[in-house]
Amino acid sequence: MKRPALSIVVPCYNEAACLDILHARVSAAAKAAVGEDYEIVLVNDGSKDASWPTMQRLAAADPHLVAINLSRNHGHQLALTAGLDLCCGAQIMIIDADLQDPPELLADMRATMIAEQADVVYAVRRKREGESVFKKLTAAIFYRVLDRVTDTPIPLDTGDFRLMSRRALDAFLSLPEQARFIRGMVAWIGFRQVPYLYDRAERHAGETKYPLAKMIRFALDAVTGFSTAPLRFASHVGLALTGASLLLFVYIAIGFFTGTAVQGWTSTMLVVVLLGAVQMFVLGMIGEYLGRLYVESKRRPLYLVADVAGPVQGRATLGYRAEPVAIAAPVALPEPASKPATKPAPAARRKPRIKPPATPA
Ligand code: UDP
Ligand code: MG
């Protein structure tokens, strides 16, 4: 199979209302950029709405479109990984399904990639339309805290909307972790990466698929995936508390020798409560790392594909990952050669257990 010049990869979760317009706008942008030499890879991440039938309908009418149906909701970052695994373009654009990232910027991003001789052009949000103050504020704080604690410099206010070269994508696909913070992982691979400023639009339809709980998990994946600073924090706190307890020891000794030892219930309680809280916090932090270690150690596949619609021949081998990702229909195993061919199959020899239904009189 020939590599198309461009792949556009879109993870979708309950985005049926966006798909038609997404398809139209992405197709127009791709045609303007590379003519007919492109593919669109839509990944259905276990949607509960009509996303999959819509994708099948679109794929039946458009030979540029490949749709992948995951076996269940695997989460945004894994759905995106599935699409990136299975796409085969020489350049790869990642975009959200809700049209918050305008596909029309493709031409300009490609021009930037060529002008800057970059392997990655990542889109940086200058403005975010139609998002809640809470989301904007937490996002702003999150990216800044992340920047402080991580060892890899991860660009601020940057989502997954980006253009990548094939060699950058192949480098990215060689990272095997389960807890995937893709924008950080792409930053980690290196090569030449340049920012591209844009204004983030409002969602075309529906609402965000990132409720608070998912956002927290995502943030924890980011921090634990790229930094051991929280673990270092534990030892720093331990050191500081040791110093403080030495001072306390002096205070206790003075109280003992001057006979004022009974007083001080308040301070005792304060110390107990504070130490308890700090211990729980540090334990929880260690737990976050331990839990992720546990998940990684199971080495499960990152995602499972249930169905594919569109031109997919040769994709499993073209994809970087060697493990099978598509579950094929059950294959009949050949009979062992030693068995005589005339011997009836065991099922046929056995008497049927279920009585045939009585024929009506
Ligand atoms: N998404 C996904 N699986 C999920 C959650 C989200 O594939 O479990 C997709 C979603 O359809 C969208 C993209 O990830 O294309 C980003 O999600 P969303 O727009 O809801 O996030 P926000 O822009 O609000 O941060
Ligand atoms: Mg969005």
DSSP string, 131-171: --HHHHHHHHHHHHHHHHH-SS---TTEEEEEEEEHHHHHH
* Ligand nearest to the Cα of 73, by number: 1
Percent composition of the chain: helix, strand, coil (DSSP 3-state, to 5) = 50, 15, 35
* pLDDT for 287: 81
Position 333 confidence tier, pLDDT thresholds 50, 70, 90? low
CA angle 237, 238, 242 (to 5 degrees): 115
pTM of the full structure:
0.76
* Ligand 1 within 6 A of CB of 208: yes
In 3D space, the residue among 7, 63, 42, 112 whose CA is nearest the CA of residue 305 turns out to be 42
Phi-psi region of 190 (alpha: psi -120 to 50; beta: other; left: phi over 0): left
What's the whole-number average pLDDT of the chain?
82
* pLDDT score at 74: 93
pLDDT of amino acid 324: 44
Q: Detail the DSSP E strand segments found in 13-149.
A: 38-44, 65-70, 91-94, 120-128
- CA of 100 from ligand 2 middle (Å) equals 6
pLDDT tens-digit readout, 125-165: 887 777 788 888 888 888 888 888 887 888 888 889 999 99
Q: How far apart are CA 228 and CA 242, in angstroms?
A: 22
> Which pLDDT band, with edges at 50, 70 and 90, does 314 fall under?
low
Smallest-distance ligand from the CA of 209: 1
> Hey, what amino acid is at 156?
L
Q: 15 CB less than 6 Å from ligand 1?
A: yes
Q: Is the CB of 98 under 6 A from ligand 1?
A: yes
H/E stretch holding 197 reads strand 193-200
For the ranges 189-198, 209-218, 295-304, the one whose mean pLDDT is highest:
189-198
> What is 6-212's CATH number?
3.90.550.10
Contact predicate 166/89, CB 8 Å: yes
